[in-house]
Amino acid sequence: MTSLDYEKLVMELLNAEHEKREMVRLTVQYPNMTVEEAYAIQEQLVAMKQADGYRIIGPKMGLTSAAKMAQMGVNEPIYGYVFDYMVVPNGGTVAMNELIHPKVEAEIAFILKEDVQGPNIDATDILAATEYIIPALEIIDSRYANFEFALPDVIADNASSSRVVFGSRLVPPVSLELDLLGVSLSINGEGKAFGAGAAVLGHPANAIAMLANMLSRKGKGLKAGEIILAGAMTEAVRFVAGDVVFAQFDQLGTVSFRSTD
């Protein structure tokens, strides 16, 4: 693909997000798009958001379950970025008219106290570099029609990043068994999904370590103070206007939001 194509595709993705409308997935136009090309599109998209004044809160991991990786035919997860405009206060509101067809999933996030630079990072390194663990609800909102995409599509689309709600309790990792930590996700008081940290590559710190190693291929690393989403502990659940979404995390407290028109 030429540089003109990259710019065109980035603008298509940005316009779909801004206009809150579905678009045809990129691999319909470019069926041979590679993962490397998709990340190049994502990098330009992220750079344009930064040029518009938005600030990165931290990276996020996606496709961190064995089932999702098998479904997409990959042997490692993907990553994207969460921006400041995506953050919703705990207990706050999410406006459906700002989104397309959102889904919510329960996750935990790592707050680093020191920089981490790969390669050869493992979970032990991540836990040693982590100051706090916090609970989160991530709202994903693919820009593609019917939430259907191939792997390069979702990478280019910043891993479907849309909104995130962080909990208020910050807990040092030393006091937690993150692989055994459970969560229940409910909508309007009805249980919809349940999970544990082991659903994230066996242990959530494994996902953060893999992220550090993936970023190192591009000369990048994880930075102190970033809030990094490890990946979904539960399936992604659709919600509609008027719903109250609530997650209860073992030892980490609760995270919630209400959706409005």
- Residue 179 is predicted with a pLDDT of 97
How many C-beta atoms surround the C-beta of residue 132 within 10 A? 15
Q: Please give, one letter per residue, the 3-state secondary structure of the chain.
A: CCHHHHHHHHHHHHHHHHHCCCECCHHHHCCCCCHHHHHHHHHHHHHHHHHCCCCEEEEEEECCCHHHHHHHCCCCCEEEEEEHHHEECCCCEEEHHHCCCCEEEEEEEEEECCCECCCCCCHHHHHHHEEEEEEEEEEECCCEHHHCCCHHHHHHCHHHEEEEEECCCCECHHHCCCCCCEEEEEECCEEEEEEEHHHCCCCHHHHHHHHHHHHHCCCCCECCCCEEEEEECCCCEECCCCCEEEEEECCCEEEEEEEEC
Q: Do 127 and 173 meet the contact criterion of CB atoms below 8 Å apart?
A: yes
How many C-beta atoms surround the C-beta of residue 191 within 10 A? 11
Q: Which residues contact 24 (CB under 8 A, 6 or more apart)?
A: 144, 145
Q: Would you give the distance in Å from CA 134 to the centre of its chain?
A: 14
Per residue in 171-183, pLDDT (tens digit) is: 999 999 999 999 9
- Residue 228 is predicted with a pLDDT of 98
Q: Do 38 and 153 meet the contact criterion of CB atoms below 8 Å apart?
A: yes
Q: List, for the chain, all residue ranges whose pLDDT scores fall below the cut of 50.
A: none
pTM reported for the whole predicted model: 0.95
Q: Using alpha carbons, select from 26, 235, 2 the residue that is nearest to residue 151.
A: 26
Q: Using alpha carbons, select from 156, 160, 150 the residue that is nearest to residue 72.
A: 150
- Residue 143 is predicted with a pLDDT of 97
Per residue in 73-84, pLDDT (tens digit) is: 778 899 999 999
Per residue in 4-43, pLDDT (tens digit) is: 589 999 999 999 999 999 999 999 999 999 999 999 999 9
- What tokens does 141 get? 């909102």
The span from the CA of 131 to the CA of 94, in Å, is 29
The span from the CA of 226 to the CA of 57, in Å, is 6
Q: Which residues contact 207 (CB under 8 A, 6 or more apart)?
A: 61, 64, 77, 200, 201, 230, 231
The span from the CA of 233 to the CA of 248, in Å, is 12
